[in-house]
Structure 1
């Protein structure tokens, strides 16, 4: 996809995102409108998957293009008690859990994660707010990790449960989470990044591990990943739309 088209999509996403959030209450009150929007999203997904090679790579850049100040967005220093404790210990006690619809649940230390098949890539992060930054990411490829856990046949989506709460809600839906389907999960550039620009991912960018799913907009790139769950349906997770921002009006499929 061309640079101009990616930039246009990011800008358009910012405009549409603002409209979605401003109209959220009215959309929720009108099931017919919501149904139409969901149908349009499904059409967008199917159309892009039809015309785009499922393994086509997002553009990668030379090191000279790395942004000197990669913008941090969303939570930049989680206050959740468990995360604060892990950060204070240098994440020595952090474990990445892989469970759900898998044959062999995993609980990996950082050293074990770093021993997994890895990939480095210099890519551009396109935010729905309209800005972009370029950074170098190194991390474990998600596909081989899922193969190690052994997905069960009914698994359709991969859910990323994170350590940060963006809202203090009584029903627990303020906890950040995200989800992708198996096509994006097995894409060669989908990684669990533990290094950014040749150093450990800093807290403001999602330490110790963040998702990089390079063919989607920035809000899909979950930070502070603690658990990866394979599911057949995400309707019972959060508010049922597949991600923190999706639950609040954004589209689940954010392909670029």
Structure 2
């Protein structure tokens, strides 16, 4: 093996180990989260909340998860006037003039954006997402759910419900957002299929996660991957 080939192999192994550490951390975190989900739904079957709370719940509604988040909703940036000013001024005393009939052209409304508001308590139940703050409260019911979207790092969410024209959502941060993401998916499934079905699905997911544990790279595995890639990239006759 030439020094250049050896250098590339070591560099590839270093990159693979870095990626492995990231993948393993995400995998380990998901295992922990799904075990928490399993515990929450085991309590839900008994009709018990997974966290203590003072929320007024609907009949049969179970609290699955609780966290802190920052609510945001559609708002507008400040508007502005465009065009020139018009009008005339009247002389008063001492060189002072009073302007009348002044206009500043046409008013243009600001752009629509998600306006971030206060941080408060977020509750996820078998029927809805709830936000409770000092000045704002809001709920997103699964019965009126049209969908949701999140950022690539799962830190920020926008919820779409049929009873509102404007969107709103919650910012969590990456760590708590990942946990909320996994719980949210199972809560929506629960609203559609029931607690028993979701608990079976979660247990299956835990088993599959155990089987998919990332494996640390070795020089041999890196070389095998390189050879396999060369075979894929090779021109076909």
- TM-score of the two chains, using structure 1 as the length reference: 0.23
More helix by share: 2
Q: Which has the larger radius of gyration?
A: 2
- TM-score of the two chains, using structure 2 as the length reference: 0.24
